[in-house]
Amino acid sequence: MRKLKLQVQLTLDGFIAGPNGEMDWMTFNWDEELKTYVAALTEPVDCLVLGRKLAEGFIPYWASVAADAANPEQAAGRKFTDTPKVVFSRTLAQTAWDNTVLAQGDLVAEITRLKEQPGQDLIAYGGATFVSALIQAGLIDEYHLFLNPAALGTGLPIFRELTAPQNFTLVNSTAFACGIVVLHYEPRRA
């Protein structure tokens, strides 16, 4: 069965965004070592799973990066553009994005169906609501939490909607020169 990985940026106090969705606290001056980490994380991925709100900026952004031969991030842009995408939405009737399909059914059923298909790993990107739903349903097999050197005091968490405690095993932690620490966890399954 395919694994679903989560790559998400968080503040030290556990928020994915400020109270109104602000993301100006994120560290974007990634060093080469962190870029290499992300390339290795996404290399065995052949499907991106996205929440609709994030997809609206993510897909066009990476498509423009992929098309810009002068952009040093062009290889990452190609990876994110060329990889098939599934966007979860209850509001869109169709997708305007290339290489993208919509999933409008039950989240657990849709993710389970994707995991059971042949292929490589899946990776999820999304906002607080989408990521929280994945976590609450126990769908994530690997957590890659990118802790940024910032604290907000208030904001949008991803673990607030838990109905029962979840326990994790730390697989690896890596500190990067840009100030981000990546914590790689796997859930402890009963």
Q: What is the pLDDT, as a whole number, of residue 119?
A: 96
Q: What is the pLDDT, as a whole number, of residue 174?
A: 97
Q: Which residue has the higher pLDDT, 117 or 96?
A: 117
Q: Amino acid letter at 26?
A: M
Task: Answer for the pair 23, 174: CB distance below 8 angstroms, yes or no.
Answer: no
Instruction: Tell me which H or E stretch contains 81.
Output: helix 74-82
Residue with tokens 């990521």: 131
Strands 85-88 and 181-187: unpaired
Q: What is the pLDDT, as a whole number, of residue 97?
A: 85
Confidence of residue 161 (pLDDT cuts 50, 70, 90): confident
Looking from the CA of 31 toward its CB, the CA atoms found within 13 Å total 9
Which residues, at least 6 apart from 54, have a Cβ–Cβ distance to it below 8 Å?
125, 126, 127, 130
Residue 182 to residue 42: CA distance in whole angstroms: 15
Confidence of residue 1 (pLDDT cuts 50, 70, 90): very high
Domain ranges of the chain: 4-54+85-187
53-63, pLDDT tens digit by residue? 888 888 888 89
pTM, full prediction: 0.93
Q: Read off the pLDDT of each residue in 121-126 and give the average, rounded to a whole number.
A: 96
Distances (CA, A) of 84 to 37, 93, 100, 141: 21, 18, 6, 20
CATH 3.40.430.10 fits 4-54+85-187, yes or no: yes
